[in-house]
Amino acid sequence: MINTKYYIILLISVFLTLGIGIIVGISLQSKDVLEKQHNIIAHHLENEFNGIRIENRKLREALTLLEDSEIKNKTLYESMFNSTIKNKLQGLKVALIEIGDDQDSSGLIDLLKISGASIESNITFNPKLFSEDYEPDDSINVLSQEGWNKDIIWDNLPTNLIESLAEGEYTVLTKELNALDLIYSPIDLKDSCDSIIISYGNPWDNTKKMLSKFNDNLVKLSLERNIPVILAENQDTNLIDFEQYKQLGIPTVHHIDALHGKLALISLLYGSEGNYGYAEKYDGVLPEELFPSKPVYDPDEEYYEKAEENMEQNEQDSAVQGAESYK
């Protein structure tokens, strides 16, 4: 009986030992498999990371080459551009009017100087002067003591501006506005002008209506004095009613801050006609003939008569529309 119990306990011990051994063996094998799998995954990730790092290095090198190429091309384009426009406007006297105190006029001034034009006037308007929401402040009150108010200023500003540009000296109104920093000029008015450029920067709120009225009156008055006007704005601005001025035969340029816009401006000052920009409503990005064989610094009377007729017809149409709306 004792021997039987002994053998049973011995067998159980043997089987337990075998079971424990099997379990330990399986555990060790599983751990080994997991380690191998971990090593495979880590190696794969490392290869992927090295591939991405190599690709990024190649992309950075390609980007550096592109940037260097862009700098060289920009230098080349600017050199070709400057050679193309150099002295094309020799003897032309230009007045530069800018709407918006955020503009840097140095670019346009340098452009005009390269072309050979002389800048007789460079006047910048503070946009708050055209805001419908602008309440009269101390500066307007000072003018009011001289018999002026905001409405009178709006009505008389185009006339006074044209007189200042045509005569080469400030009127009473423009002198007062200049003293109050509502308009300012980095250079003194030198002489009368042959052409006027009106350039628009970023506007204040609620200025489009008064600016449109100011533009219409200024263009009409300049045509009456036989002074061509070109309207220009940068790519972030949308103040000019290009369709209206296209119908009136008034040249316009969009993207004046881009190289093609600057070239279009010089071409228009030289004597080309049209309205230029990227959209379909324009006549193209650039005139087909940049510099006509015959410069038109001094357009003939037919040009002014046609433009004035268009302006008058537009005013009559507006009056008819206003009357119909009133009815």
The CATH number for 287's domain is 3.40.50
Asked if 24 and 146 sit in the same domain, the reply is no
Asked if 81 and 39 sit in the same domain, the reply is yes
Each residue's pLDDT tens digit in the chain (327 positions)?
556 666 676 667 666 676 676 665 666 555 565 667 677 777 777 888 888 888 888 888 899 898 888 888 888 888 888 888 899 888 888 888 888 765 556 678 889 899 999 888 888 888 777 777 766 555 555 555 555 566 677 778 888 888 888 777 777 777 777 777 778 877 777 777 888 898 887 666 677 777 878 888 888 888 888 888 999 888 777 777 777 888 888 899 988 888 888 999 999 999 888 889 887 778 888 888 888 775 555 444 455 455 555 555 555 555 445 444 444
Cβ contact 228:196 at 8 Å: yes
pLDDT of residue 325: 46
Cα gap 135→143, rounded to integer Å: 14
Cα gap 3→211, rounded to integer Å: 119
User: Could you give the C-alpha distances from 283 to 243, 251, 287, 288, in angstroms and in order?
Assistant: 11, 10, 8, 9
Asked if 142 and 24 sit in the same domain, the reply is no
Asked if 78 and 96 sit in the same domain, the reply is no
Asked if 302 and 262 sit in the same domain, the reply is yes
Closest CA to 235 of 214, 261, 212: 261
Helices assigned H by DSSP within 86-202: 106-114, 138-145, 150-167, 172-179
126: left (phi > 0), else alpha (psi -120 to 50), else beta?
Answer: beta
Domain boundary among 67, 85, 103: 85
Asked if 103 and 50 sit in the same domain, the reply is no
Range of the domain at 210: 90-326
Domain boundary among 27, 52, 85: 85
Cα gap 196→95, rounded to integer Å: 5
Cβ contact 266:88 at 8 Å: yes
Domain boundary among 34, 60, 85: 85
Long-range pairs, 305-314, Cβ under 8 A, ≥24? 306/249, 307/223, 307/248, 307/249, 307/250, 308/220, 308/223, 308/224, 310/247, 310/248, 310/249, 311/216, 311/219, 311/220, 311/223, 311/248, 314/244, 314/247, 314/248
Asked if 215 and 298 sit in the same domain, the reply is yes
Asked if 244 and 272 sit in the same domain, the reply is yes
Asked if 81 and 98 sit in the same domain, the reply is no
pLDDT of residue 266: 92
CA-based R_g, the chain, Å: 38
Asked if 104 and 33 sit in the same domain, the reply is no
Asked if 30 and 100 sit in the same domain, the reply is no
258: left (phi > 0), else alpha (psi -120 to 50), else beta?
Answer: beta
What is the number of domains present in the chain?
Answer: 2
Asked if 170 and 24 sit in the same domain, the reply is no
